[in-house]
């Protein structure tokens, strides 16, 4: 039996990187999917890949920073399947700069997507989950949200905020059957980190006890575990998936 047979999952940021790997893994595990991303073309390509694995999938272009995009994605799931079981709140961006040079527009852009986007997603997804009395939400934080990082005031603030929201929602909604957890990835090889100079990547890799960057699938596997019934007694936790970076 596949892990997510009959389950409906909404995955944001699904057009590339970790979100793409997650969509393909959930499809292989029998989930029915709504995929939300800014980039309609790449999203359609990922949706085709999921459909090729036999998944029933809806590609929903839109921005996680807009509540209306989330409402449309949730409405699409309910219209087709009358349920929503899982939210993977994965979309995220970076706009790095040293703090003394960081413009407020850089700060706001990252907060809008990485923090407010997660807020909107959870609020939209909770409605059908609360009505059903069950559901699982997985939010994407980062090791940067735990420890801070040079040049990432905006990103660290958002990712630390995600942890605060995750724990708050775990307390508020645990009694009503909904689990809320976060994953804190370390350095993962995706388009987000592809622009990092090779020298820096080498330095980053050297700091990781497992001596490699993570693959998108490493994070997808953590999302899948926390979203599945195998994690039925886990809520309010932050699962670091970083090759041991934080020790």
- 121 near ligand NAD (CB under 6 A): no
- 152 near ligand NAD (CB under 6 A): no
- 153 near ligand NAD (CB under 6 A): no
- 185 near ligand NAD (CB under 6 A): yes
Q: Which is nearer to ligand NAD, 91 or 136 (CB)?
A: 91
Q: Could you tell me the CA-to-CA distances from 34 to 93, 117, 127 in Å, in that order? A: 20, 16, 16
Q: Of these residues, 155, 169, 187, 223, which one is catalytic?
A: 155
Q: How many residues of this chain bind ligand NAD (CB under 6 A)?
A: 28
Smallest CA-to-CA distance from 240 within 222, 215, 220 is with 222
Beta bridge partners, 188, equal: 214
Q: Is the dihedral of CA 20, 25, 27, 31 positive or negative?
A: negative
Of 9, 11, 13, 224, the one binding ligand NAD by CB under 6 A = 13
**In the complex, least distance from residue 26 CB atom to ligand NAD, rounded to whole angstroms:** 15
- 244 near ligand NAD (CB under 6 A): no
Of 33, 38, 115, 122, the one binding ligand NAD by CB under 6 A = 38
CB 74 within 8 A of CB 128: yes
Alpha carbon distance 134, 136 (integer Å): 7
Alpha carbon distance 13, 18 (integer Å): 8
Tokens representing 83? 């349920």
> Can 233 be counted among the known catalytic residues?
no
Instruction: Report the run of H or E that residue 146 belongs to, with start and end.
Output: helix 143-147
Which range, of 34-42, 99-107, 197-205, 227-235, touches ligand NAD by CB under 6 A? 34-42
Hey, which residues are catalytic here? 155
Tell me which residues touch ligand NAD (CB under 6 A).
Answer: 12-13, 15-19, 36-39, 63-65, 90-93, 113, 140, 142, 185, 187-188, 190-193
């Amino acid at each position: 039996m596949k892990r997510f047979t009959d389950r409906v999952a909404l995955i944001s940021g699904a057009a590339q990187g970790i979100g793409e790997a997650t969509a393909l893994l959930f499809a292989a595990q029998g989930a029915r999917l709504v995929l939300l991303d800014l980039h309609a073309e790449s999203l359609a390509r990922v949706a085709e890949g999921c459909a090729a694995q036999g998944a029933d999938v809806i590609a929903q272009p839109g921005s996680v920073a807009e509540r209306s995009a989330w409402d449309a994605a949730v409405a699409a799931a309910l219209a087709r399947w009358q349920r929503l079981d899982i939210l993977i709140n994965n979309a995220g961006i970076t706009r790095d700069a040293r703090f003394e040079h960081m413009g407020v527009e850089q700060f706001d852009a990252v907060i809008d997507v990485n923090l407010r986007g997660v807020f909107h997603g959870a609020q939209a997804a909770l409605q059908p989950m609360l009505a059903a009395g069950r559901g699982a939400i997985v939010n994407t934080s980062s090791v940067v949200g735990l420890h801070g990082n040079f040049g990432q005031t905006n990103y660290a603030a958002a990712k630390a905020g995600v942890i605060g929201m995750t724990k708050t929602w775990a307390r508020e909604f645990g009694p009503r059957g909904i689990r809320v957890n976060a994953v804190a990835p370390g350095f993962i090889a995706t388009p987000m980190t592809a622009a990092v100079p090779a020298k820096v990547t080498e330095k980053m890799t050297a700091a990781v006890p497992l001596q490699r960057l993570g693959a998108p699938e490493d994070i997808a596997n953590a999302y899948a575990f926390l979203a599945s019934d195998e994690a039925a007694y886990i809520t309010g936790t932050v699962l670091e998936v970083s090759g041991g970076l934080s020790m």
